[in-house]
Chain A
């Protein structure tokens, strides 16, 4: 019973997307909106195929930037969460600052970063780090701080040091928080990479996008947009997969629910 409802829910977005694409195709074909303004889905697919080589070579650059920025963002986020959890005064002093840092729009910092770090990969990585550390820091801090206090006391009765409490209890207890933040950060990382490239650079999907836009090749531009969405979705899918592999105790629930009923 439950299973069929969940597959229905999984199918539903697919049906909606397909429906929208069909409507979009009809609008283009009937020339309700001229195709130079809104290319039809089929022409977008054609552009995607004919431009595949270009798209791929630019995609690797963007992906590289996104993954570096994400990696550094995760490390920075973890460090900030750790320090803030370990030292209460730092928590109280830094937390508001952390929130304020997120109110600065990334589009505004991007040109500054290019001014400071040039047109290479560096300003992109820095921008992505700035946007991705925040979800990790906030979620991990939440995970650390909500660790069961009795559990920590128990570890102390075992004679565990502060580091061992982090290693054996606080970090693994926060693994769900980590993956929740990772999903957000992964999506941020790709979008931030594109924004950073947009402002200035030599290659990457963002640079390519500005180029085709200036050439009024909207079919190619839509192809880039689709590619970016697909990359983000794939990365989120990978994170989900990783979460499943790293939390094997979650996959063993059924026995318990049966016995408790």
Chain B
């Protein structure tokens, strides 16, 4: 089970309040997006969830356990793949385990089966610069997955990819989510990405930022290939755009 609950988070930098009373929750196997314009405070919220910075008020709860301000529970992934160029893909994948003092052999044993699930077989001994952009992003996801088991915090992970690669990777991510049952909290500024990937979307806006809307994406056509061409998709998109 993986359940994240974020309760009444407040955060200011100096006299400037960024986040005001943010409460969201992510259930097991869910993909939940936080959507907002650039600079609204998405990444600040994310750092709090990841335990990199402390909120002024509020709690982050993971499976009934208060983990506010503690890092190491979830790993996050950014727009930059942040793969270490001097380590092979396997070397990158096992890094989180090695940092937690797992032996190298054991870490490799644990990581090896995941390469197939992530469509990265044969890349184990390659260096990141030998992989395409989409593959690098998948390798970074693999590392995130190995770092924190089933919880992925993704901060605009796909925004640097080209349109076609992006479409493929959305489809792939949805398949992956079904296959291994990941729980995902996704930050994005792309309405299309939020609607395509999410089960639920939170809209973050205002100064200081609050959650202004929660939207459930439960169209029956959601898992079909051309969901983005359906009327439902447009309906969701419209609803989001009017409330941004």
B135-163 vs A, Cβ < 8 Å mask (1 yes, 0 no):
00000000000010000000000000000
Cα separation A87 to B156 with both chains bound (whole Å): 33
Q: Given A247-B86, A249-B85, is A158 in contact with B96 using a C-beta cutoff of 8 Å?
A: yes
Q: Given A168-B95, A249-B127, is A158 in contact with B72 using a C-beta cutoff of 8 Å?
A: yes
A168 touches B99 (CB 8 A): yes
Interface residues of B in 75-103 (CB under 8 A from A): 75-76, 78, 80, 82, 84-87, 95-96, 98-100
Q: With an 8 A cutoff between CB atoms, is A10 at the interface? A: no
Cα separation A172 to B85 with both chains bound (whole Å): 9
Chain B residue at minimum C-beta to C-beta distance from A154: B82
Q: With an 8 A cutoff between CB atoms, is A71 at the interface? A: no
Q: With an 8 A cutoff between CB atoms, is B242 at the interface? A: no
Cα separation A168 to B95 with both chains bound (whole Å): 9
On chain A, the number of residues with a Cβ less than 8 Å from chain B's Cβ atoms is 25
Cross-interface CB contact of A155 among B47, B99, B128, B129, cutoff 8 Å: B99
Cα separation A197 to B59 with both chains bound (whole Å): 68
Q: With an 8 A cutoff between CB atoms, is B126 at the interface? A: yes
Cross-interface CB contact of B52 among A156, A164, A253, cutoff 8 Å: A156
B130 touches A255 (CB 8 A): yes
Chain B residue at minimum C-beta to C-beta distance from A259: B132
Q: Which residues of B contact A259 (CB under 8 A)?
A: 132
Q: How far is the CB of B100 from chain A (nearest CB, A)?
A: 6
Cα separation A148 to B79 with both chains bound (whole Å): 13
Cα separation A247 to B129 with both chains bound (whole Å): 13
Q: With an 8 A cutoff between CB atoms, is A169 at the interface? A: yes
B84 touches A172 (CB 8 A): yes
DSSP class of B's interface residues: helix, strand, loop or mixed?
Answer: loop
Q: With an 8 A cutoff between CB atoms, is A159 at the interface? A: yes
Q: Given A156-B71, A158-B100, A249-B129, is A151 in contact with B86 using a C-beta cutoff of 8 Å?
A: no
Chain B residue at minimum C-beta to C-beta distance from A165: B99
Q: Given A252-B126, A253-B129, is A157 in contact with B76 using a C-beta cutoff of 8 Å?
A: yes
Chain B residue at minimum C-beta to C-beta distance from A161: B99
B71 touches A159 (CB 8 A): yes
Chain A residue at minimum C-beta to C-beta distance from B51: A157
A157 touches B82 (CB 8 A): no
Q: How large is the interface on B (under 10, 10 to 19, 20 to 34, 35 or more residues)?
A: 20 to 34
Cα separation A153 to B85 with both chains bound (whole Å): 17
B75 touches A154 (CB 8 A): yes
Cα separation A22 to B47 with both chains bound (whole Å): 68
A127-166 vs B, Cβ < 8 Å mask (1 yes, 0 no):
0000000000000000000001011011111111000100
A237-259 vs B, Cβ < 8 Å mask (1 yes, 0 no):
00000000001110011011001
Cα separation A132 to B83 with both chains bound (whole Å): 33
Q: Which residues of B contact A253 (CB under 8 A)?
A: 129
Cross-interface CB contact of A157 among B50, B131, B132, cutoff 8 Å: B50
Q: With an 8 A cutoff between CB atoms, is B74 at the interface? A: yes
B100 touches A159 (CB 8 A): yes
Cα separation A5 to B52 with both chains bound (whole Å): 50
Q: Which residues of B contact A159 (CB under 8 A)?
A: 71-72, 99-100
Q: How far is the CB of B47 from chain A (nearest CB, A)?
A: 8
A172 touches B86 (CB 8 A): yes
Q: Which residues of A contact B78 (CB under 8 A)?
A: 150, 154
Q: How far is the CB of B140 from chain A (nearest CB, A)?
A: 9
Q: Which residues of B contact A164 (CB under 8 A)?
A: 99
B51 touches A150 (CB 8 A): no
B42-86 vs A, Cβ < 8 Å mask (1 yes, 0 no):
000001001110000000000000000001101110101010111
Q: How far is the CB of A162 from chain B (nearest CB, A)?
A: 12
A residues in contact (CB < 8 Å) with B: 148, 150-151, 153-160, 164, 168-169, 172-173, 175, 247-249, 252-253, 255-256, 259
Can you show 24 pairs from A to B with CB atoms below 8 A apart?
A148-B80, A150-B78, A153-B47, A154-B75, A154-B78, A154-B82, A157-B50, A157-B51, A157-B75, A158-B75, A158-B96, A158-B99, A158-B147, A159-B71, A159-B99, A160-B99, A168-B84, A168-B98, A172-B87, A175-B86, A247-B86, A249-B128, A256-B129, A256-B131
B residues in contact (CB < 8 Å) with A: 47, 50-52, 71-72, 74-76, 78, 80, 82, 84-87, 95-96, 98-100, 126-132, 147
When A and B form their complex, which 4 residue pairs have the shortest distance between CB atoms, in order from nearest?
A: A159-B72, A249-B127, A158-B96, A160-B99
Known interface pairs A252-B126, A253-B129; 19 further A-B residue pairs with C-beta atoms within 8 A, sorted by A's residue number: A150-B78, A155-B99, A157-B51, A157-B74, A157-B75, A157-B147, A158-B75, A159-B72, A159-B100, A160-B99, A164-B99, A168-B84, A168-B95, A168-B98, A169-B84, A175-B86, A247-B86, A256-B130, A259-B132
